[in-house]
Amino acid sequence: MVRISRRGLLTSGAAAGVLAASGLPLRAQAKRGGRLVVGLNGANTSDSWDARTHSDIFMNAAGLGTVYDALTEVAADGSLKGELATDWEASSDAKTWTFNLRQGVTFHNGKPFGADDVIESLKMHVGEGVKSAAQPIVSAISEMKKVTDHQVQFVLEQGNADFPYLLSDYHLLMYPAGQIEESIANGIGTGLYKVVSFDPGVRFVGERVDSHYKDGEAGWFDEVEFIAINDITARMNALLTGQVDVITDIDFKTESLLKANPQTSIFEVTGNQHFTFPMLTDVAPFDDVNVRRALKYAVNRQELVDKILLGHGAVGNDHPIGPANQYYFDDLEQTSYDPDQAKFYLKEAGMEGLSVDLSVSNAAFTGATDAAQLYQASAKAAGITINLVQEPADGYWSNVWLKKPWCAAYWSGRPTEDLMFSSAYETGVPWNDTHWDQPRFQELLVKGRTEFDTDKRREIYHEMQKILNEDGGAVIPMYANFVGAKTNKVAHPETIGNVYKVDNARLTERWWMA
């Protein structure tokens, strides 16, 4: 099987040439019809159509991907396009944003979509006692104004050049104004499929609406069914016995069975999801940059990718920006396993024979304990003793992460550089899991927010990645791919999205029956 990542495809002229010569336009075979059955994990009995509570792939694929729409959409190639908004413009300080809304769109109950729906839907995320994960995005808006029925204006407290990107968030779905309660109860959105039945934590069935603004571009199935299969072996079985057409998150250990079966194939993309070992940089010995650098040189990244991810990933470079980000610094010099360099930096720090504790549990990410053991072995060659502290999986995120000086963690990544940095690397934010504070980095972070010039932003974000690579408090050894499997009955476009699982959770829109 030939696997070509988006980046690989773009940078390899040969592959691009082949594609061009074959004369295959991307949607050559896409056609209407058929019933898609998907086996997904991440389902809960407490699931509902309230996007404020959405957090895992089952409801993301059903909500954002199938029944509802957001204002903007991240296309499979990573570019931003309008979904319920057609276009937008900003004032030069990136504080005032005007969005033009799509005309002639109706909700599944016939109500036309307009500016009031946008304002009411966004207001769901702020207010007394509301705990929406999208609250920081919406509370940054100081004023929402309906200009016409199909135009809204947002005034932000601080300029943010990425604002339209943030509106593609899977929490920020558009509900019908005045009927939000009913919409949450029955799943009434503007998406390509309307709800036929929904049994939380068990099953969802959607039926294609008769006419939709995406007709001809997306939404090829007549009907879609999601089955909640949280158990990984049961998911693999369901695919191998042909009871579902697509599954999320395959079991790498039995991957060979999928490969041996001519009816099934694997699809995967490298995105922003990364596994980390964050150190608290205000705690000795991690307050010494030389110790941090020594530890970065002491991990065999390729070995981790090969043995923990079984090849389904890519080596990381100690910064959280991934290939799915716009300004990913591809050419940044790769920090790789080098015991001699590690010894050199230890000597600089005056800490030869360093001995440190690393707190791990598989709650941090699948295989975290094994990864830490490999790290322990590779660091030994550099003269560093890593004592593994096995922590209970229960309460890991409350009692270990952000508390222990060095532990394991994961980040699913963020669509924009600014959002990633301001979630985990800005001074004083609650999730700053390295307690890291570097003046130049913080200065660039603020500067990048209001910069519209693409070249200047690239410069800013590249420098920030470089600073993190050299000085940052997190060892980030690997990016984990989004991997799924499908039968030959289903086909997908050449490029699939790498922001989130199964084509950015939009497979019901973009895929079709082969």
Partner 1 sequence: MNPVVKIILQRLALGLLTLFIVSIVIFTAVNMLPGDFAQAILGQGASPEAVEAIRRDLGLDQPPVTRYLQWLGDALRGDLGNSFAQANFSSFVGEGSGGARVTVAQQIAPRFANTMFLAGVTAAIAVPFAVTLGVLAALYRNSAFDKAANVATLTSISSPEFFLAYVLILFLAVLNPVLPSLSNIYADMGFGERLVKTLLPALTLTLVVTAHMMRMTRAAIINLLASPYIEMARLKGIGPMRVIVKHALPNALAPIINVIALNLAYLITGVVVVEVVFVYPGIGQLFVDSVKIRDIPVVQACCLIFAAAYILLNLTADILSIATNPRLRQPK
Binding stretches for partner 1 (CB under 8 A):
39, 44-46, 48, 50, 52-53, 127-133, 180-181, 184-185, 197, 199, 201-203, 227-231, 233-234, 237-238, 240-244, 392, 394-395, 397-399, 401, 409-410, 430-431
Q: How far is the CB of 428 from partner 1 (least distance, A)?
A: 13
Give the integer Cα–Cα distance in Å for 52 and 369. Answer: 33
Nearer to partner 1, 62 or 354 (CB): 62
Spatial separation of the C-alpha atoms in residues 264 and 166, rounded to whole Å:
35
Could you tell me the smallest distance in angstroms from the CB atom of residue 64 to partner 1? 17
Pick 46 or 92: Cβ nearer partner 1 = 46
Kindly state the smallest distance separating residue 243's Cβ from partner 1, in Å.
5
- Decide if 285 contacts 354 (C-beta within 8 A): yes
Q: Quote the CA–CA distance of 181 and 434 in Å, as a whole number.
A: 41
Q: Tokens 């830490």 label which residue?
A: 372
Shortest Cβ 262–partner 1 spacing (Å): 14
Query: Shortest Cβ distance from residue 388 to partner 1 (Å)?
Result: 19
The C-alpha atoms of residue 455 and residue 266 are separated, in whole angstroms, by 36
Q: How far is CA 391 from CA 328, 362, 376, 395, in A?
A: 33, 9, 16, 9
Q: Which residue number, 50 or 268, has a Cβ lying nearer to partner 1? A: 50
Instruction: Report the distance separating Cα 365 and Cα 96, nearest Å.
Output: 40
Q: Which DSSP symbol is given to 334?
A: P
Smaller CB separation from partner 1, 157 or 199: 199
Dihedral sign from CA coordinates of 425, 426, 428, 430: negative
Q: Specify the residue, 311 or 392, whose C-beta has the smaller distance to partner 1.
A: 392
Q: Which is nearer to partner 1, 61 or 294 (CB)?
A: 61
Minimum CB separation from partner 1 for residue 239, in Å? Answer: 10
Question: In whole angstroms, how close is the CB of 414 to partner 1 at the nearest point?
Answer: 13
Whether the bond between 285 and the residue before it is cis, its omega within 30 degrees of 0, is yes
Minimum separation from the CB atom of position 452 to partner 1 (A): 32
Residue 274 near residue 478, CB atoms below 8 Å: yes
Is the Cβ of residue 48 or residue 373 nearer to partner 1 in the bound state? 48
Return the bridge partners of 362, or none: none
Reading the block at residue 137, the tokens are: 């995005």
Nearer to partner 1, 192 or 363 (CB): 363
Q: CB-hemisphere CA count at 13 Å for 455?
A: 0
Nearer to partner 1, 81 or 111 (CB): 111
What residues have CB less than 8 Å from 176, skipping those under 6 apart? 107, 109, 111, 113, 117, 182, 183, 188
Cβ closest to partner 1, residue 257 vs residue 467: 257
For residue 394, the minimal CB distance to partner 1 (Å) is 4
Q: How far is the CB of 178 from partner 1 (least distance, A)?
A: 12
Looking at beta carbons only, is 268 or 433 nearer to partner 1? Answer: 433
CB of 248 to partner 1, least distance (A): 14
Three-class secondary structure of residue 391 per DSSP: coil
As measured in angstroms, the least distance from the Cβ of 52 to partner 1 is 5
- The DSSP secondary structure of 400-433, one letter per residue, reads TTTTSSBB-EEE---SSHHHHHHHHTSTT-TT-T
Distances (CA, A) of 428 to 202, 237, 279, 425, 431: 41, 46, 16, 9, 8
C-alpha to C-alpha distances, 65 to 123, 170, 270, 455, nearest whole angstrom: 22, 9, 20, 32
Looking at the Cβ atoms of 193 and 396, the one nearer to partner 1 is 396
Q: Is the Cβ of residue 311 or residue 395 nearer to partner 1 in the bound state?
A: 395
Minimum distance between the CB of residue 260 and partner 1, rounded to whole angstroms? 13
Q: In sequence order, which residues have a C-beta less than 8 Å from that of residue 276 and are 6 or more positions away?
A: 320, 408, 409, 410, 411, 433, 474, 475, 476
Q: Which residues of 145-158 are buried (b: 16+ CB within 10 A; e: fewer)?
A: eeeeebbbebebee
Residue 511 to residue 493: CA distance in whole angstroms: 7
CA distances from 183 to 178, 179, 205 (A): 10, 6, 16
